[in-house]
Amino acid sequence: MRFVIVGAGEVGFHIAQKLSSENKDVTLIDKNAEALRRITEHLDVQAIEGSGCDPHILKEAGLGEAETFLAVTDSDETNLIACFFANLIAPNVKKLARIRNEAYTHFQPGLLERHLKIDKIINPDRELVATIERFIMLPDAEDVSEFADGRIQLIGFRLSEGSEVTGMSLAEIRQRHEGLRFVVGAIFRNETLIVPKGDNRIEAGDFIYVVCERKLVKQILRLFGCYSDMPRNILIIGGGKIGLLTAKLLETRDLHIRILEKDRKRCDHLSELLNRTLVIHGDGTDQQILEEENISRMELVLTLTGDEETNILCSLLAKRLGAQRIITRISKFSYMPIVYAIGLTHVVNPRLSAINSILHYIRRGKILSAVTLRGEEAEVLEVEAMKDSDLVGRPLRDLKFPRGALVLAVIRAKEIIIPTGETAIHPSDRVIILAERKAIPRLENQLSVRVRSF
């Protein structure tokens, strides 16, 4: 299975990393020789120096034999031209393009898809705002993902000292609350992943992933000591594109929103575009301004400027001044461990949002990967069981699953099943599986599934 990727930046690198780890045939094209050197030092992929807009380079990369073509550079124009030539060279190849400028996609909706035969357009900004919305709806969650068209949610949160379940085993929790249907899918303790069994006990400070139906999320979070409601008073620091899109989204709800922007002309522009948001001219790194805006009374602060160092500084300052919750926008993957270490737990990354969306769409063959968990040690996989699969027809307790893999949920038509050892999988069931990265190749050998577009 061949993939051709134009763009060796962080998005291209991480997609190539995931695909090559599954023994996929990957070719990366980029004009930056240094970026390609980094790729070849760390990954088993083919690297070609040159422009993704050059049809000769695309042919050299083997585009004619590829199944999927991805144009994910930081330039919309480069991505569009690359897709144009890809369509001429290999009209049947699946094409995905990373496009941020909405002038291209909103001029005539569907135009690019029809004329350039682009199968999927990924807008990192829109994907990021969708991630922010999930965080706002569940303030205690530090990680939120959706499956089965949003009917199932995977929620990541940290267990507090005061939780009634602290110190209990998973079997004891299930027995005490047998009426609630959920699965503890993963536990991170001191940044080490534990794929849990019934006798595992949970401790204060553990970072836990729970899978359940969407309608039960808040009830289950309360069980684990998470009681907060959706915030009403929200301050957005940074009135750029992401800040504007977020404010527009929040205006559709009954919330009190302020946006702090240091550029006077941008403030005037925001005032024209927003109806119910109070636009304030000022610098989010200015302590006096934050105190004047009663930062200590803010239930949520979003630092969404285009500069991540500024976002980190604003977040730390807001935290020191008493803001209840903070969401920080970070683009560089290398910063992620640092911001977690200094106590900024709610982090959104536009590149990661784009990567997850791309992987969700391009997976073919045996496994469709939805999301990567904290630390990239594990993935949650969504598959569809075929009638000849080893999954089908036997209780889960009798299946010889690879070590480090766990069935989290089964979707059968409109029914959602939170599994027990007695649960049996039927043909065409959609199965959600958590797997450590090292277990994925063994799962590929064991499972036989076909993929459906979601």
| Tens digits of residue pLDDT in 352-381 | 888 877 877 775 445 555 677 876 678 888
Per DSSP, what are the bridge partners of residue 6?
Answer: 29, 71
First to last CA, the chain: 21
Residue 292: CB atoms within 10 A of its CB come to 11
Confidence at residue 399, expressed as pLDDT on a 0 to 100 scale = 85
How big is the CA angle at 51 (ends 123 and 330), to the nearest 5 degrees? 35
What letter would DSSP give residue 337?
Answer: H
Q: Residue 311 above 90 pLDDT?
A: yes
What letter would DSSP give residue 426?
Answer: P
Give the total residue count for the chain. Answer: 454
pLDDT 10s digits, 18-46: 888 777 899 999 999 999 998 999 999 99
Measured distance CA(431)–CA(433) in Å, rounded: 6
Confidence at residue 452, expressed as pLDDT on a 0 to 100 scale = 41
> For the residues 265-284, what does the mean pLDDT come to?
96
CA distances in angstroms from 283 to 110, 167, 262, 313, listed in the order given: 39, 45, 5, 11
Confidence at residue 246, expressed as pLDDT on a 0 to 100 scale = 96
Q: Residue 444 above 70 pLDDT?
A: no
Q: How many CA atoms lie within 13 A of 446 on its CB side?
A: 15
> For the residues 101-114, what does the mean pLDDT come to?
84
Measured distance CA(338)–CA(243) in Å, rounded: 23
Which pair of tokens denotes residue 264? Answer: 């006077």
Measured distance CA(420)–CA(383) in Å, rounded: 18
Confidence band for 446, pLDDT divided at 50, 70 and 90 = low
Q: What percent of the chain has pLDDT over 70?
A: 95
pLDDT 10s digits, 120-148: 999 999 889 988 998 888 888 888 888 88
Report the SS3 class of residue 276.
Answer: coil
pLDDT 10s digits, 275-296: 999 999 999 999 999 999 999 9
CA distances in angstroms from 140 to 206, 234, 325, 381, 423, listed in the order given: 14, 15, 9, 24, 31
Among residues 240, 234, 262, the alpha carbon closest in space to that of 329 is found at 240
Confidence band for 435, pLDDT divided at 50, 70 and 90 = confident
Q: Where is average pLDDT lowest: 13-17, 187-191, 357-361, 435-439?
A: 357-361
| Tokens 């004009």 -> residue | 31
Among residues 417, 363, 279, the alpha carbon closest in space to that of 3 is found at 363
Domains and CATH numbers, the chain: 2-122 (3.40.50.720), 147-223 (3.30.70.1450), 233-352 (3.40.50.720), 364-446 (3.30.70.1450)
Which pair of tokens denotes residue 51? Answer: 């422009």
pLDDT 10s digits, 140-195: 888 888 888 788 999 999 998 878 899 999 999 988 888 888 999 999 998 889 99
Measured distance CA(215)–CA(260) in Å, rounded: 34
- In terms of pLDDT, which residue wins out, 80 or 351? 80
Among residues 370, 365, 378, the alpha carbon closest in space to that of 404 is found at 378
- Please say whether the beta carbons of 67 and 92 come within 8 A: no
> For the residues 190-209, what does the mean pLDDT come to?
91
Among residues 396, 377, 385, the alpha carbon closest in space to that of 429 is found at 385
Per DSSP, what are the bridge partners of residue 300?
Answer: 234
Confidence at residue 453, expressed as pLDDT on a 0 to 100 scale = 36
Confidence at residue 364, expressed as pLDDT on a 0 to 100 scale = 46
pLDDT 10s digits, 410-425: 999 889 998 888 999 9
Measured distance CA(312)–CA(395) in Å, rounded: 49
Confidence band for 392, pLDDT divided at 50, 70 and 90 = confident
Measured distance CA(407)–CA(424) in Å, rounded: 11
Phi, psi of 378 (to 5 degrees): -150, 160
Q: Residue 271 above 90 pLDDT?
A: yes
Q: Where is average pLDDT lowest: 86-100, 133-147, 283-297, 432-446?
A: 432-446
> For the residues 200-229, what does the mean pLDDT come to?
89
